[in-house]
């Protein structure tokens, strides 16, 4: 695997972990509060969201970069 593709894959995994951790933690807290079993509920939400988020980041990050470049008038 070339370094650029490896970087993109690792970036997607790291970004997915950070984003999904924070978002599911906040949403789970907002929905149920700090209750007994919170960690299990949060981990369930994390597990579902993570398997969705990482492929979305992997495939759509390049699209988002190109779109951002067009919006800002920057070359591709």
Question: How far apart, in whole angstroms, are the C-alpha atoms of residue 55 and residue 18?
Answer: 14
Q: What's this model's pTM, rounded to 2 decimal places? A: 0.82
Q: State yes or no: pLDDT of 22 exceeds 90.
A: yes
pLDDT tens track for 46-63 = 999 999 999 999 999 999
Average pLDDT over residues 10-24: 96
What is the domain partition of the chain in residue ranges? 34-76
Those residues with Cβ within 8 angstroms of residue 26's Cβ, 6 or more apart along the chain or in another chain: none
Question: How far apart, in whole angstroms, are the C-alpha atoms of residue 66 and residue 30?
Answer: 34
pLDDT at 76: 63
pLDDT category of residue 1 using cuts at 50, 70 and 90: confident
Question: How far apart, in whole angstroms, are the C-alpha atoms of residue 8 and residue 60?
Answer: 11
44: part of which helix (H) or strand (E)?
helix 38-72
- Whether the CB-CB separation of 42 and 28 falls below 8 Å is answered with yes
């Amino acid at each position: 695997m070339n370094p650029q593709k490896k970087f993109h894959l690792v970036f997607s995994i790291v970004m997915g972990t950070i984003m999904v951790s924070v978002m599911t933690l906040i949403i789970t807290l907002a929905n149920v509060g700090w209750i007994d079993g919170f960690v299990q509920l949060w981990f369930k939400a994390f597990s579902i969201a993570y398997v969705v988020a990482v492929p979305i980041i992997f495939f759509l990050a390049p699209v988002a970069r190109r779109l951002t470049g067009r919006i800002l008038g920057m070359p591709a």
